Amino acid sequence: MDETFVVIGGDAAGMSAASKAKRDEPDLDVVVFEKGRWVSYGACGLPYYIKGEIQTLDELVSVPPEEFREERDIDLRTGHEVIGIDPDARTVTARSDDGETIQPYDHLLIATGAAAVDPSIDGIDLDGVYTLGSMTDGKELREFVARSRESSPSDQPDRGPACQYLENCSGPVGVVGGGYIGIEMAEALVANDFEVHLFQRDDRVLNGFSRATSEAVAEHLEEQSVSVYLNAEVESIGGSDAVEAVLTADERVPVEMVLLGTGVRPRTDLAENAGIELGPTGAIATDEYRETNVPNVYAAGDCAEAEHVVTGEPAYVPLALTANRHGRAIGQTVAGTPSEAGGIAGTAAVKAFEVEAARTGVVDHDEARDAGFDPVSKTIDAKSRAGYYPEGGTVRVTLTADRESGRVLGGSLVSEYGEGAVHRSHALVGAVTEAITVDELSNYDLAYAPPFNTTWDPILTAAKVLGGKL
């Protein structure tokens, strides 16, 4: 196969596709353009790097560039930004410190990722305003934390996390956004003794989860000394050179740093300029092979949408597994074995201090109704292990189903960290993907032993209880 596969973007989707294509078809020339210097890195680990649980950024790199080049025989060109795609000529133009290159392709993958959304408010250019979209962002935040700790008079290695009990806290700092990044960063900052104020525009954190999950997480954040402001749209960030305060309609909260965790948007400029269609979500539209409207041009990862397994409609859920999975399928396809990449269920997980939460499928009733369902939900609190077992906590499960068919549409779970909300969500991913009913789910022969669950796992109890409501 004397062909060339060009990949734009060297993170999860891009490197998965490049590696798989080359492994399956060694004769293929594989060229990857990455504008930065980092490739194949675990951005999801950045909050733990900033927290101090991971010591170097290199630890977040799953495969170093040399391994791609030398062992996998991939022509990986870091420091190369692609500035144009010409689908008619089948070329891309890349710019580096050495000038411009025109690279022909037979197959092209656009894996340009997503960019942090900056809210259009005053003050976001002040010193001390951070986002967390890149390895560089992570480095800067860690340096900020280190500086603050050094200057903090009560900096002692054995200090506890609960800042309000201490005489001298670092901070205060503001976190804008109550999604994963906001919550994980709140944990990282509290662990470094910052007084953390978290501002959420909506009336709850973790919007895509069930309200019951959101409430449990918000309550826990407060217990862990995070001040959570709900219905608190940030109107501006105050300060002259450096950040001094976060301002909402109601309050002016003095802070020394602001982290913006206000979501991401797909990077689609390159694709749009080349006439590649975007979908209804604003991300690049793809078919079940993740091919765009332009033949032999694929898109995957945080720049692309994909069909939702419950609604069948395009959805934009920029998360790591989808990028890896879709990249890998494209690699197989390009190497000669057309491979459907599978849809997305909108599954997500988050650790928030000492609780864990996960969600999958369609939980929100408006979203379910838009997709033609008649949603019914039920939330239960169940013991995470046998009642008599000496350890254990509570798993709160919200399950949503369609009234008429009984089909499981989605679920949301929260438990103490280690009590299994996240791993239990695996069962619900199968349920929503296979379109089974709550009755079928309630008859699943799930594993049981006292150290792991009650005889009826909380998943089964939720299915039983919701089944009784249909």
Contact, 110 vs 297, CB < 8 A?
yes
CB of 329 to its own copies, least distance (A): 8
- Helix H, strand E, coil C: the string for 369-424 is HHCCCCEEEEEEEEECCCCCCCCCCEEEEEEEEECCCCEEEEEEEEEECCCCHHHH
Contact, 184 vs 384, CB < 8 A?
no
CB nearer to its own copies: give 256 or 356: 356
| CA 108 to the chain's CA centroid | 25
3-class SS of residue 88: coil
Cα→Cα distances 457→269, 382, 442, Å: 47, 8, 10
Token pair belonging to 14: 């891009």
**169 catalytic per annotation:** no
CB nearer to its own copies: give 30 or 345: 345
CB nearer to its own copies: give 23 or 365: 23
CB nearer to its own copies: give 369 or 426: 426
Scanning the structure block, which residue is given the tokens 């210097």? 37
Write phi, then psi, for 213 (nearest 5 degrees).
-65, -45
CB of 4 to its own copies, least distance (A): 25
Beta strand pairing call for 227-229 and 194-199: parallel
CB of 130 to its own copies, least distance (A): 20
CB of 81 to its own copies, least distance (A): 26
CB of 257 to its own copies, least distance (A): 23
Binding site for its own copies (CB under 8 A): 12, 42, 44-45, 48, 53-54, 59-60, 62, 180, 309, 319-322, 324-325, 329, 340-351, 356, 358, 360, 386-390, 417-418, 420, 422-427, 429-431, 433-434, 436, 440, 443-452, 455-457, 459-460
Beta strands in 9-118 (DSSP E): 29-34, 75-78, 81-86, 91-96, 99-104, 107-110, 114-116
CB nearer to its own copies: give 24 or 86: 24
CB of 343 to its own copies, least distance (A): 7
DSSP designation for 135: H
How far is the C-alpha of 41 from the C-alpha of 58, rounded, in Å?
A: 8
Cis status, amide bond into 119, omega within 30 of 0: no
Find the distance separating the first CA and the last CA of the chain, reported in whole Å. 56
CB nearer to its own copies: give 126 or 319: 319
How far is the C-alpha of 288 from the C-alpha of 290, rounded, in Å?
A: 5
Active site residues: 44
